A and B are shown apart, each in its own frame.
Chain A
Amino acid sequence: MSDLNELYQETILEHNKNPRNFREIEDADKKALGNNPLCGDALQVYLKLDGDIVKDVAFKGSGCAISKASASMMTQTVKGKTRDEVQILFDEFHKMVTGELNAETDENHLGKLKIFAGVLEFPARVKCASLSWHTLSAALQGDDSVSTE
């Protein structure tokens, strides 16, 4: 069960239960819909920008605990960051969950997001953890939909 505990950590379960920024932004500057056709997860990411800075970010949708918690913690992390900083976080997160970056030993800015390193042991769940990030990235780039398939 040690593997399982690593995936379903207390923080992840708590964010799943009480996701932060789980709402629509009606006057969003940018938004995108992310789909994971494999499991039917669908989430919408909303962005409000102030020049280059993420002024507000939120999400809605249905998904598993991993995708929901990841989206929740992502919104907390990127709020107030510049586009470039968000891009760096996205790259680092993506590398961490695909095993290209060791969050403990390699230099990174992931902070609390390191908790998702555990999905590496669960290949079927990597897409769940990264769905919100792909969707955020699509929204920033002006694409209105993205699929992890």
Chain B
Amino acid sequence: MKAAKEMTWDVEKVRKDFPVLSQTVNGKPLVYLDNGASSQVPKSVIDRTSKYLSEEHSNIHRGVHYLSQHATTAYEAAREKVKRFINAREAAECIFVRGTTEGINLVARSYGKKFINAGDEIIVSAMEHHSNIIPWQQIAEERGATLRVIPMNGRGELIIDEYENLLSERTRVVAVAHVSNSLGTVNPLKEMIATAHKYGVPVCVDAAQSVPHFPVDVQDLDADFFAFSGHKMFAPTGSGIVYGKREWLDQMPPYQTGGGMIRSVSFAKTTFAPIPEKFEAGTPAIAAGIGLGAAIDYINSIDFSEAAAYERELLEYATARLADIPGVEIIGTAAHKASVLSFTIENVHPHDIGTILDQQGIAVRAGHHCAQPVMEHFCVPATARASFAFYNTRAEVDKLADAVQKVIEVFA
């Protein structure tokens, strides 16, 4: 079974699509295991972005001239690709933002202003990235609402019974990650959303770490808000999407105001454009947005389900290799994980691990991963994190394991 899967996923062929992967770092071939922070960009996306900048650049939705219409068409085509990629009902529900952080801030500010009041409750989870905590904490402070936290167990899985107990008629929103950036845990999102909906509560999903790793369907999940970043899914930085159900977005006030989001303006009153423009004030990152469309084309050109299966095997293999090394502890051992392998080495600070691995050409993240409450939960100041993409190989995992061994030798 295993061998058959490996044969169908031609990782060496896929690697050739990513120019950055062929370089050496510190005299060693680059082993890029920091995909959770930002993924690499395939040649087709670079070319598409470059073509836009060389031949098509102009402001969108503004001019009657040739270039402006051309740029607008390309940008809106990217939105249409996003719609099909996540299976939104309509493209207008897909709002371009800078990335996941801005997407969640948009929802928290706008939904919060309209729907969150004194005495209300906001539920977040113990494993959230800071970007799915602080926007809610801020709005809670402003509105006199309370933040409630879904706890997790020692493996890094949410305790779903406790989640059910937190929901009540006071709950106004649930904010939860699809996949934890620091632990790799895949949350039972569909079930969690169904539970929230029993209370009439919408769910805002941080999907930054799920969308790049397996197919998602926002209608099947029944997600109310769903935010993700282009630069973690093989597109340039500055592109991202927050999907929202029309029935919510139509009721919500603008997040930012200015050009491009109005129907009419006078000094007495402004009326706003319908979605998505209502939430897209100012000139967006057009090249990055078109690049996101091209990244989706790229993902559609490979067998994404096969890629996901390959990644799962790679993660299992890496987990087994590292767990075998005395002194290494895996942080986050949920039954259902994706892409992320966080670990510590006894008596070695993760920052030192990161530096020594870098000298071997291996890029990992070392730190608290913008998830300080998670670090506190596991009583560690930080972890080292290897995060995989479908272009990583078993040979790279072996290099990681060898380098970890080397770290232990240096600090012996």
Contacts and interface: CB of A to CB of B under 8 A. Distances in A.
B205 interface: no
Nearest to A125: B355
A128 interface: yes
A5 to B, nearest CB: 9
Interface string B130-156: 000000000000000000000000000
Contacts of B410: 4, 8, 13
A interface, size bucket: 20 to 34
Interface stretch (A45-53, A62-70, A97-105, A132-140): A62-70
A3 interface: yes
B321 to A, nearest CB: 22
A125 B351 contact: yes
A40 B355 contact: no
B375 A40 contact: yes
Contacts, number: 54
Which residue among A13, A39, A124, A125 has the maximum number of chain B CB atoms within 10 Å of its CB?
A39
Nearest to B359: A4
A96 interface: no
B355 A7 contact: yes
Interface string B233-270: 00000000000000000000000000000000000000
Nearest to A38: B367
A48 B341 CA distance: 44
A65 B359 contact: no
B368 interface: yes
B359 A64 contact: no
A82 B354 CA distance: 37
Interface of A: 1, 3-4, 7-8, 13, 16-17, 38-42, 62-66, 68, 122, 124-125, 128
CB-based closest 10 A-B pairs: A64-B349, A64-B351, A40-B368, A4-B359, A40-B382, A40-B381, A39-B351, A62-B381, A65-B352, A64-B352
